[in-house]
Amino acid sequence: MATKRKNLYLCLTLLCFIGLIAIFIVDGYLGVYDTLYVPMGEREQKVEADQWQQWSQYAMAQVGWGEKAFFRYEVDNRQFSTYSTNIEVSVWHSQQKVRDILSQPIAVAPFDKGQLKWTIDTAELLPSGATPAKGYQYEYTVIIKRGDIERKVIFDVLFPSPLPSPPLPSSLRQS
């Protein structure tokens, strides 16, 4: 009788342990995760699912006026079913939409990844006829909508200030 009770407690303990492990796996691994990649010169800035709040408050990229900013957005489907939704990307400045960049459906197979790429040409961000102030930087917000989920990241566009010409060495000056 005592042996059966010991085996019963051992089995219940093992079942509880397996249940806890299953909860950690389901809660920590399964789901749909998204990651944004932005090349910054020779390196790539990566914004993962748990960092979105941080990057919606601070600038993640600085791009010079007239340059292009390249974005790569990855959707990681860690579910047992196909994940389908529409992805919409737009650029905003001072709570006003500047431009729509992308609106595209995506379908990601179970335990697979899907990617979208887009480019933002900074020369197209100012309204027509406007000239940028030299030596100034403008903040823009890229809003990514994935179904009901909205992600925001901020990037700066730098307008170069005119640099003064360096003085010529005395040996090259004409008198």
Q: What is the pLDDT of residues 33-91, one digit of tens each?
A: 899 888 776 777 888 877 766 655 565 667 777 888 889 999 999 999 999 999 999 99
Burial class of residue 45, CB neighbours in 10 A (0-12, 13-18, 19+)? middle
Compute the mean pLDDT over every residue in the chain, rounded to the nearest whole number: 80
Contact 122, 65 (CB under 8 A): yes
Q: Tell me: pLDDT of 169 over 70.
A: no
Question: Which CATH number does the domain housing residue 121 bear?
Answer: 2.60.40.10
Please check whether residue 174 lies inside any domain of the structure: no
Please check whether residue 10 lies inside any domain of the structure: no
What is the Cα–Cα distance from 139 to 70, expressed in whole angstroms? 16
> E strands, 25-148, where?
31-40, 43-47, 59-64, 68-78, 83-93, 96-108, 112-121, 137-146
**0.95 surpassed by pTM:** no
User: Please, which residues bridge with residue 107 across strands?
Assistant: 84
Please check whether residue 86 lies inside any domain of the structure: yes
Q: What contacts 111, CB < 8 A, 6 or more positions away?
A: 77, 78, 79
Please check whether residue 8 lies inside any domain of the structure: no
Please check whether residue 2 lies inside any domain of the structure: no
Q: What percent of the chain has pLDDT over 70?
A: 73
Q: What is the pLDDT of residue 86?
A: 95
Please check whether residue 148 lies inside any domain of the structure: yes
Please check whether residue 15 lies inside any domain of the structure: no
Q: What is the pLDDT of residue 116?
A: 94
Domain span at 71: 30-158
Number of domains, the chain: 1
